[in-house]
Structure formats: C-alpha cells, structure tokens
Amino acid sequence: MSKIGVFDSGLGGLTVLFNLNNSNEYVYVADQKNNPYGEKTIEQLLDYSKKIVDFLISKGCDKIVIACNTVSANVSNELRKIYNEIEIIDVITETVKLINSEKYEKMKKILLIATEKTIESNMYQKLINKEVKGIATKDIVPAIENLASKKDIIKIIDRYLEKEKGKHDAILLGCTHYPIIKKEIEKYLQIKSIDSISAVSKYVDNISTKPDNNNNNLNDRKDDKYSNLEIYTTKDEKYLEKQIKEIFNKDIKVKILK
Ligand code: DGL
C-alpha cells in the first residue's frame, strides 16, 4: 500500500483522484486560494507547488501526482529536481503516450483546450506526433469552480469553440477540470474527447497496488471505500464539500490547510 499525495489548483484534480485505486491512502490538496493557476507566473506556480509538496511529504506521502496540467506543463521537471527522493507523476507524460499509441492512430487532427499557461508552454504540441491546434479557454475553470449552470457552461463552450466545429478528429481536454463537462463538449463538437484520467490512473495503480477494477466512470467509486482519504483546501472547506457533493455526488469531510 502506498500513501499518495495528489494536488491541483482546485477541484479539477479530483477527477483523477476518484479514479485511482481506492486501496491506497491519499491526501489531496486543492489550492483554491490561488485558483486559477492558468494565469500565474512560473515563479508563482513553483512557489505554490513547493508549499503543497512539502505539506504532502510531511503527511507521509511517498508518491505525488500533479493532477494539474498547468503545473505539469510548466514546473514538473523543476519539482522533480528539488524532490528527487520521491516519485512525482505529472498528467501529461502518460496522456501523450496514449495519444501517440496505435489506439489513436486514426486521429490525425487534435484540438487541445487548456489554460493559457499550458497552451503557452507548448508541451502537448511538442510531444504529440499529430497536428495539434491549441486554444486557451481561460473562463472554463472559474465557471466550474463557481458551480456555473450547464446552460452557462455551454455558452462559454460556444464562445471558444464555435469556429472549430467539423475541423478536428478529437478534442484533448488539457485541464483536469474539463472532464467534468466532457459530455457537453463532446455533444457540442460531435467528436470524442481524450483526457488524462485513464492513462494516469493506470500508471499510478501499476506503481502502487493492483487495481481492483478498471472502472473509469467519475462517480462509480464510492467514497466509503476510501478508508484513508484526506482532502484539504487552502480556502473554504464547507464550499469544497458542497462542490464535491454537487459535482461528484460524494459526502466527504474537507479540512483547511492554512
Ligand atoms: N486543473 C488545472 C489544470 O489542469 C486548472 C488550472 C487553473 O487553475 O487554471 O490545468
């Protein structure tokens, strides 16, 4: 059994966490005080991440999953250099391997949506061996964090993606918040989406314990099965509890991390 630390700027990383094998122990940090990360500088991203990783190590975590594309794209190598005694897993490496694999051979044109900082880093565009068009969709994370209605989310999708209809084979959700609105995006563009959940959870399950199932549905793993899950937020614990209930339909007690 491993103790695994998982973090993101907010609730997005929970899309990854809730699909990890629940026989491990987990500590999750949502840095909601500093959300969104997409418009922060590299120095700020490194500073926030270091504080969180220090906290996760102090809780006894021996592996850390950066469940945030913005941090993965911009400072994951720096973090690996600083914390070379633990394994740090980003959400981009395994996702890119999956996209470059035979499974996606027929997908030639990929539309990437992500935060400004992820698009600017060019990480996905450099690593994927296909045509990739990147669009920074900066209003989506705040809308999800604010529990915007589906109607408002669709308005935002329409604003960013109207001109992209019919031009791509698949859409890559380059932000861990986006799987929450996967159905709306797929329906709008009439193409399949790709996200980091299955690739990352497969990798993490393999390096920790044997997965007890291969179920990748967001709401299918019941929280009562997590005997050892602690969730922290840097902002408002009651609000994150409400977000988790509304989005993932789970009742989980959240603690504050000052
Ligand atoms: N979930 C984060 C990501 O994957 C969101 C970043 C943000 O807070 O802007 O990039």
User: Ligand 1 centroid vs 145 CA: distance in angstroms?
Assistant: 11
Encoded tokens for 233: 């937020």
Least confident span in 17-26, 56-65, 154-163: 17-26
pLDDT exceeds 70 at position 243: yes
Whole-number Å distance between alpha carbons of 8 and 99: 23
pLDDT at 222: 47
How does pLDDT run across 160-197, given as a tens digit for each residue?
999 999 999 999 999 999 999 999 999 999 999 999 99
pLDDT at 139: 98
Q: Can 175 be counted among the known catalytic residues? A: yes
Q: What is the mean pLDDT of the chain?
A: 94
Kindly list the protein residues whose Cβ atom lies closer than 6 A to any atom of ligand 1. Answer: 8-10, 12, 35-38, 68-70, 115, 118, 141, 175-177
Catalytic residue selected from 17, 153, 175, 189: 175
What's the chain's length in residues? 258
Residue 209 three-state SS: coil
Q: Can 68 be counted among the known catalytic residues? A: yes
How does pLDDT run across 202-233, given as a tens digit for each residue?
999 898 865 454 454 555 554 456 668 999 99
- Are the beta carbons of 32 and 234 closer than 8 angstroms? yes
Question: Phi and psi for 71 in degrees, rounded to 5?
Answer: -70, -40
Encoded tokens for 194: 């790709």
User: Ligand 1 centroid vs 39 CA: distance in angstroms?
Assistant: 10
Catalytic residue selected from 68, 157, 161, 181: 68
138 CA: nearest ligand 1 atom = 9
- Are the beta carbons of 33 and 12 closer than 8 angstroms? no
Question: Phi and psi for 86 in degrees, rounded to 5?
Answer: -120, 160
Question: Strands of 131-136's sheet, edge to edge?
Answer: 131-136, 109-114, 170-173, 192-194
How does pLDDT run across 88-111, given as a tens digit for each residue?
999 999 999 999 999 999 999 999
pLDDT band for position 2 (cuts 50, 70, 90): confident
Q: What percent of the chain has pLDDT over 70?
A: 93
